[in-house]
């Protein structure tokens, strides 16, 4: 079946026939300001969630106390804000951005609106590499985790690309290869943790996905990788839009499908590798956010990806705050909260997609 003319993520109510180009152009012009306003509203929501993340915890702080704690070293909340809440919040911001962008790119690359960054086994590759480093080499710091995570993610990306057919890889082949490697690698991680109790103790919070224990060094370490991956992902918006029309149409528009796919996998590797090294394998953020954003922006990645970069941290930090509130006097790790929220979401949309098929 030819892929020319097929869209990876059709907009609501898309059909084989429709209005002419003039009507489409007018509709796009009308949606531009509303999209910009929506993005600005998303930034305001993100700001509110950042304040909540700084203020809520074992010790509640008012917005005024948070503000003084950020600026005044003599303020009562300075230690709590700077040593505990601020690194955790900034890490959640970076990890959320990374996972949201990775999810948007993955869904465009595989032409599957229910794809997740873990679909190609990239998260599993990063997790397997970190588990190996902890069990065999005694690595315990983020500076050690991140390089192993990136290496594992990169190796699995190359394997998936090769097993999926190399230059002739199709979205279906990539998805099947990724699913097989994903299952194998997570089984390996479970075996390592069960056989090595010391590794289990070191990784028990990391393996479920956690922002607890974040430090300033972790934030500074993850920042360059997320920044480069984010810039690469945002720069791929136009080529991936062209690729959605099929390889032949993409070539006619000046894009090179093989190069675009390779760059997209590189971006996802950087984003997922860094986020996984810092927080562990947090699931469903990369699935839920792009899918929900698409209802607001349509399939145009020039808008969808910036929205994902803003709203994914809202979801991740919101889940982290919810875990702190529900788990008092302890807390529920953020990976558990996103899994609880994401499971029903996935089942609902999977059934809805099946009903439409």
Query: Domain spans of the chain?
Result: 60-356
Alpha carbons 48 and 41: distance in angstroms, whole number: 11
Which of 144 and 105 is assigned the larger pLDDT? 105
Residue 6 has a pLDDT of 39
Q: What is the pLDDT averaged over residues 293-300?
A: 89
Instruction: For residue 118, give both structure tokens.
Output: 């873990």
- Residue 166 CA to residue 4 CA, distance in Å, equals 20
| Residue 211: DSSP 8-state | -
pLDDT digits (tens, 9 = 90+) for 300-340: 999 999 999 999 999 999 999 999 888 777 788 888 898 88
Q: Is the dihedral of CA 227, 228, 233, 236 positive or negative?
A: positive
Average pLDDT of the chain, as a whole number: 81
CA distances from 114 to 66, 98, 104 (A): 38, 18, 10
Q: pLDDT-based confidence at 23, cuts 50/70/90?
A: very low
What is residue 7's predicted lDDT score, i.e. its pLDDT?
A: 41
Q: Which residue has the tokens 């390779």?
A: 262
Between CA 348 and CA 342 the distance in angstroms is 10
**Which runs of consecutive H residues, i.e. helices, occur in the chain?**
21-55, 63-71, 78-79, 86-110, 122-137, 142-163, 171-195, 197-203, 216-235, 237-243, 247-252, 257-279, 285-297, 301-326, 334-356
Can you tell me the distance from the alpha carbon of 47 to that of 6, in angstroms, rounded to the nearest whole number?
38
The arithmetic mean of pLDDT across residues 156-167, rounded, is 75
d(CA 244, CA 109): 8
Q: Which of 163-167, 222-226, 279-283 has the highest mean pLDDT?
A: 222-226
For position 201, what pLDDT does the model report? Answer: 65
Give the pLDDT confidence of 206-219 residue by residue, as tens digits. Answer: 777 888 878 888 89
What pLDDT does 327 receive? 77
The pLDDT of residue 12: 40
- Place 40 in a pLDDT band, splitting at 50, 70 and 90: very high
Tell whether the model's pLDDT for residue 297 goes beyond 60: yes
The CA distance from 284 to 345, in Å, is: 9
Instruction: Answer yes or no: are the C-beta atoms of 265 and 120 closer than 8 Å.
Output: yes
Q: What is the pLDDT of residue 127?
A: 86
Q: What pLDDT is attached to residue 168?
A: 64
Report pLDDT digits (tens) over 54-100.
888 777 777 888 888 888 787 777 888 888 889 999 999 999 999 99
Give the pLDDT of residue 119: 67
Is the pLDDT higher at 106 or at 92?
92
Architecture label for domain 60-356? Orthogonal Bundle (1.10)
CA 354 to chain centre: 25
Query: With pLDDT > 70 as the criterion, what percentage of the chain qualifies?
Result: 83
Structure tokens at 283: 């699931």
140 has pLDDT over 80: no
Q: With b meaning 16 or more CB within 10 Å and e meaning fewer, what string describes 318-348?
A: bbbbbbbeeeeeebbbbbbbbbebbeebbee
Least confident piece of the model among 9-18, 34-43, 60-69, 153-162: 9-18
Q: Which residue has the tokens 């349509």?
A: 298
pLDDT per position as a tens digit, 234-288: 999 999 999 888 888 888 888 888 899 889 988 988 998 899 888 888 888 988 8
Q: According to the model, what pLDDT value does residue 32 have?
A: 67
């Amino acid at each position: 079946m030819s892929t020319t003319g097929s869209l990876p993520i059709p907009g609501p109510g898309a059909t084989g026939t429709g209005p002419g180009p003039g009507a489409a152009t007018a509709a796009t012009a009308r949606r531009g300001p509303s999209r910009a306003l929506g993005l600005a509203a998303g930034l305001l929501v993100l700001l509110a969630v950042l304040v909540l993340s700084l203020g809520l915890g074992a010790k509640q702080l008012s917005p005024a106390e948070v503000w003084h704690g950020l600026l005044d070293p003599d303020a009562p909340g300075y230690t709590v804000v700077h040593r505990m809440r601020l690194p955790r919040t900034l890490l959640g911001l970076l990890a959320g951005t990374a996972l949201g962008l990775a999810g948007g790119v993955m869904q465009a690359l595989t032409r599957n609106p229910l794809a997740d960054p873990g679909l190609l086994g990239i998260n599993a590759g990063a997790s397997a590499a970190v588990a190996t480093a902890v069990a065999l080499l005694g690595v315990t710091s983020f500076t050690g985790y991140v390089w192993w995570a990136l290496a594992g993610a990169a190796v699995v990306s190359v394997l998936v690309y090769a097993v999926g057919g190399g230059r002739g890889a199709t979205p279906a082949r990539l998805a099947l290869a990724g699913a097989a490697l994903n299952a194998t690698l997570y089984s390996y991680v479970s075996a390592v943790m069960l056989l090595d109790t010391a590794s289990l103790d070191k990784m028990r919070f990391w393996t479920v996905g956690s922002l607890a224990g974040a430090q300033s060094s972790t934030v500074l370490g993850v920042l360059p990788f997320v920044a480069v991956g984010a810039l690469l992902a945002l720069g791929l918006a136009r080529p991936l839009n062209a690729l959605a029309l099929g390889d032949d149409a993409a070539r006619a528009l000046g894009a090179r499908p093989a190069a675009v796919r390779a760059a997209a996998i590189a971006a996802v590797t950087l984003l997922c590798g860094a986020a996984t090294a810092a927080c562990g394998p947090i699931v469903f953020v990369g699935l839920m956010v792009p899918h929900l954003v698409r209802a607001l922006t349509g399939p145009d990645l020039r808008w969808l990806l910036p929205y994902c970069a803003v709203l994914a941290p809202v979801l991740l930090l919101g889940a982290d705050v919810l875990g702190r509130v529900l788990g008092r006097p302890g807390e529920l790790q953020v990976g558990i909260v996103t899994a609880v929220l994401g499971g029903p979401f996935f089942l609902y949309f999977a059934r809805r997609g099946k009903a439409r098929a």
